[in-house]
Structures are given as C-alpha cells and as structure tokens.
Structure 1
Amino acid sequence: MVIRAATCAAASVALLLPFVSLAAAQEDLREAAQNPIANLISLPFQNNMNFGIGNTDNVQNVMNIQPVIPFHLNDDWNLIVRPILPIVYQEPFLGGLQLQEAEQVLGSNIGQNHFGLGDLTPEIFFSPSKPVMLAPDVSLVWGAGAAFQLPTATNDLLGTGKWSAGPAFVTFLSVKPLHITTGFLAVNIWSFAGDGDRADVNELTFQPFLNYNMPKGWYLTSAPVITADWEAGEDNRWTVPIGGGIGRIFKIGEQPINAQLSAYYNVVKPDDTGADWQLRAQWTFLFPSR
C-alpha cells in the first residue's frame, strides 16, 4: 500500500509539472510584457481615443505603433530601442464663433478634419542586463538614455515642425509576493532645429504605471500619461489623467498576445486643446526568445 501510494503521488506530481511550468512561464512573460525595457521583442498597437477636445465635443484618435527592440551589447548591458510613430485623426479644437474667428485669421485649414502621421519619437535606453535584487522575489530594472522627436507629421496641425531631443529614464519594480509591478517612464525634450515660424518645444512626459497580477494571465493596470508643455501658459500647460483598466496575456495559436483596455479622466487639462477623457485599447504581439 505504501509503495502504491508513493507511486500515485509521484505520478500526480509528474502530471502537474507541465501545468506548473506553463503557469510560471506565463507569469514571466506577463511581467516582461509590463516592463517597458524588457529583454523581449514586442510590437504594441496602442489606440487612444480622446473625447471632448478643446472647447468642443469633437474627437481625436491617436494610434501609436511602438515596437520594442532589445539589443544584447555584452554580459552586463542591453540597448533598448522604442520608436513611437503616431497615426492621427483629428477634428477641430474650436467650434462655433471661436472657429469662425480663427478661420479668418489662420485660414480654413484649422476648421477641417485631418488624418495622417504625427511626429516620430525614437527612445533609446541603456539598461543593465541583470535586475537588481532588493529582496527575495523583489527586483528592480532601470534604464537611462535619450528621446528624439523628428518632424515627420504629414500636416502642420499633427506635429510640431521641430527637431527635438532630451533625456529619458525608466524604472521597473517587480514585487512578486504582492503580485505587483510598478515604475515610471520620464522624458523631457527640447527643440533645437526646425521651422522657425513654429513654437519652440519644451515638453515633459511622465508615465507612472501600476499592475496587479491575477490568475490565468489577467491583470489590473493603471498607466496615466502626465504631460507638461513648459512653453505654454499656466492654463494650457498640464495634462493630468486618472483611471485604469484591465488586461490579459493569452495566445492565439502559438502567438503570445498582451491585450488591455482602460479609461482615463483628465482632472487637469489644457484649456485650448485638452480632452475631457480618453479610452485606450492596446494589442501587443510578443516575441519571446525560444
């Protein structure tokens, strides 16, 4: 009886091992997908629909194509390249009498809907290849580098018309006992060349993020994008959203996918161009090394 029980227990363990290994692999992949500078090739398509822009009920839609491509430099360092290309559909920020007055000064172009490319923003980070272990199952990854903005917009109203650059920094903290990953990404760019008739660029982008990981690949997420336009007046400087959503890691065939849906309300926004709230949907193809 003892031998039979031991045999049954061993068989049960052997049957469970593949499922335990699969769950652990899924958790590792989910954590890597939540890390902006993970050693993981990914291709995110992030669609941001902004409602109530400016002084209107109009809509702006920005689809960001933002692949993440890591390069292994040596045993100690990785180079992470994150180009971000926006595809923009934009309705007028003004309406009624304000729009009529603006059209008389700036031309009818300002009152039209526009669709095209925005400014390309490549981000480059140098990051240690091994995380810093702060405690058992608590690790920190960081990266430092630069961001650049190229005037690739197909319409003046969809871009800045400037060449810009500045420092970039990112952190990623994993606290597995609490099922949490968190961190932030910060970039500030300044214009140094471009159309002399266009406004100078001096803009901060700060994105804190927090994820609470649940069973079966599900997670809760919050990643508001806080911006400050230092060249604008105080009434048009800050955008501060609050909100969050839900996401999941899963597979279609053999292709791992990270999908999420979230919503953010702007508690502070630019008076002239800010949106009331945003609906964000993201679909990311993941390409883990095999």
Structure 2
Amino acid sequence: MAILNTNYSFPPMKKQLSFFVFSLIFALPAFAQDDAAELAKKLANPVSSLISVPFQNNTDYGIGTFGGTRNTLNFQPVVPVSVGKNLNMITRVVLPIITQYNITGEGQKQSGLGDAVLSAFFSPKNSEKLTWGVGPAFLLPVGTNDFLTTNQFGMGPTAVALKQINGWTIGALANQLWSVAGDPDRSEVSQLFVQPFLVYNWASGAGLGGNLEWTQNWISDQTTLWLNPTVSGVTALGSQKIQFAVGPRLNLAAPEGGKADWGWRAVFVLLFPK
C-alpha cells in the first residue's frame, strides 16, 4: 500500500500560498467593484439570500502518534427559499469527503464520505440592526467507513447571529446535536459546535478575516479547537461569479493523541446571484 509522504517542507507551501494570494488580488478587477463588494458582503453572512456552492478543502499534517495526514473536502451547498412575505429558510448541507493516512494506525488509510450535517435557518428577509436565523440541524450517518461515521442519526437546534457595518462582519454560528437513533453498539452523540467569525471586506471584494471552530463532545468530554485565518476575493470566470479563500489552520486543542502540527484551508465558491 502506498503511503502519503508527510515530510513536507514549509518554504514550497509558503511560495504556493503567496503566489495564490497575489494571483487572487490581481484577478479581482474582473467585474464591477460594486457587484464584488455586494457579493462579498452576502458571502460573509451565512443566512443571506444568495445561492452558493462552496468547496472547502482542509489539509492537516502531523496528527497524533503516527504523524498522520488528513484531507477533508467539505461540499457545502447553500440554498435560500422564500417561505413567506417576510421570512426565508436557508438550507445548508456540509458533506465531508475524507482521505486520511496513519491516523488509526501506522500504515493505515481510510477514505470516503463522512457524516453530513443538514441545517435549516429561518431568518427575517429584512433585519436592520441584527441579522439572525434559527432552526433545526440534523446529523445524517452517511459515512462510508466505520472510522468516518458515528452510525448515529442526530438532531438539535442551530442558530446564527451577526452584525454588518462599514465593511465589517462579526457574528457566530452554533448547533447542538444529540443522537435520536442509530447503532446501539456505537457511542451516542451529544456534540456542541460553535463558530465565531470576523471578516473585513474592501470595496474590491477582497476580504481578510477568520473563524474559530470549537467542537465539544459532551459524552467523552473532549474539546477540539481550530483557528482559521483567511484572505479572500470575489472575481469571475467568464460569466460565472466565484470566490476564492486561502489560509493556515491552527489546531489549538484536540483530544489526546489527535492534535495536528499544522494545516491549511483553501475554499472555492460558485456564486449564483439573482
């Protein structure tokens, strides 16, 4: 079995990220700044009335005892639906596609789908001071490998609140999931996810910000914490509006034996404005 070589040097990666950032900045004037600024503002808002299809790729190195590597591509379509004169329902799916080496044991590899999370936020169409949304979240046990799934169907509440002013977006998203059905031989799920975020967008559509991803497993009393700073930009490929984002991932806390040395995130988003 071929095992991924994780002995990467930092300088080539830094050069690649620098080239990506500069290419991104020079690509921004591809369409009107007003359009770019408005799209960037909507993208910073998880409950905006914008159809988008993000592909978020996270690669993490030096995980655990065997110095493992994990790549997670999150497919995250967001679709707003009008459910009344003053109310939108914003549906959001997070489906992880995972490949990992040397995580469960030396020389071991797993790949496939992880469990998906489906959220539905009910949000007012017009909110002047504070933008917010609340609704249900569902854990769907669609994982294709025993190491990548909980084998538990879960549900619970989710909520988001944010403020946008003078190019700034500050807010937080959270959900709590509990098992309601599943494999009795697997551990039940009781998990909290909290994601504070802060972004500043310029008129060009370029942005600088980041988020904190805190996952608390109440059953095992384990905490996972990631800090994800990113630089982003909105541009167009022909008539297709897109967003790019890239940045490092810092693993601040993890269960014993599961902390990563470092990682990076790259995001590509297809935008479908009305």
TM range (shorter): 0.7 to 0.9
Cα distance per residue 1:27-61 (max 9 Å; x no partner): 11110111111101000000111222222211111
Q: Any unmatched runs of 5+ in structure 1?
A: 1-18, 100-110, 135-139
SS at match of 2:63: coil
Using CA pairs under 8 Å that are at least 6 residues apart, name the structure with larger relative contact order, 1 or 2.
2
Matched, 1:256 2:241: yes
Q: 1:92 matched to which residue of 2?
A: 102
Counterparts of 1:146 and 1:247 in 2: how far apart (Å)? Answer: 29
Q: 2:141 matched to which residue of 1?
A: 151
Cα distance per residue 1:96-151 (max 9 Å; x no partner): xxx6xxxxxxxxxxx620111111211111000112x23xxxxx210001110111
Partner amino acid, structure 2, of 1:119? D
8 Å Cα contact 1:55/1:94 also seen in 2: no
Partner amino acid, structure 2, of 1:193? A
Q: 1:186 matched to which residue of 2?
A: 174
Deviation at 1:174, TM superposition (A): 0.4
| Equivalences, count | 245
Matched, 1:64 2:74: yes
1:161 to 151, 166, 171: 151
8 Å Cα contact 1:173/1:182 also seen in 2: yes
Matches within 5 A, 1:128-139: 128-131=124-127, 133-134=128-129
Matched, 1:217 2:205: yes
8 Å Cα contact 2:36/2:203 also seen in 1: no
Between the aligned residues of both structures, percent identity stands at 37
Deviation at 1:243, TM superposition (A): 4.3
8 Å Cα contact 1:224/1:264 also seen in 2: no
Change over 3 Å in CA distance of 1:83–1:242 after alignment to 2 = closer
Matched, 1:115 2:123: no
2:121 to 104, 116, 125: 125
Counterparts of 1:129 and 1:243 in 2: how far apart (Å)? Answer: 29
SS at match of 1:224: strand
SS at match of 1:274: coil
Counterparts of 2:100 and 2:58 in 1: how far apart (Å)? Answer: 12
1:80 to 87, 90, 93: 90
Deviation at 1:215, TM superposition (A): 4.1
Which TM-score applies when normalising by structure 1?
0.80
Q: Which stretches of structure 1, 4 residues or longer, exceed 4 Å deviation after superposition?
A: none
Matches within 5 A, 1:168-179: 168-176=158-166, 179=167
Counterparts of 1:275 and 1:148 in 2: how far apart (Å)? Answer: 28
Deviation at 1:22, TM superposition (A): 3.3
Counterparts of 1:213 and 1:120 in 2: how far apart (Å)? Answer: 30
Counterparts of 1:259 and 1:194 in 2: how far apart (Å)? Answer: 38
SS at match of 1:39: coil
8 Å Cα contact 1:165/1:191 also seen in 2: yes
8 Å Cα contact 2:251/2:261 also seen in 1: yes
8 Å Cα contact 2:63/2:259 also seen in 1: yes
Matches within 5 A, 1:229-268: 229-233=217-221, 237-268=222-253
8 Å Cα contact 1:93/1:272 also seen in 2: no
| Higher-strand-fraction structure | 2
The structure whose Rg is larger is 1
Root-mean-square deviation (CA, aligned residues, Å) is 1.7
Deviation at 1:265, TM superposition (A): 1.3
Which TM-score applies when normalising by structure 2?
0.85
Deviation at 1:271, TM superposition (A): 1.0
SS at match of 2:147: helix
2:50 to 40, 49, 73: 40
| Higher-helix-fraction structure | 1
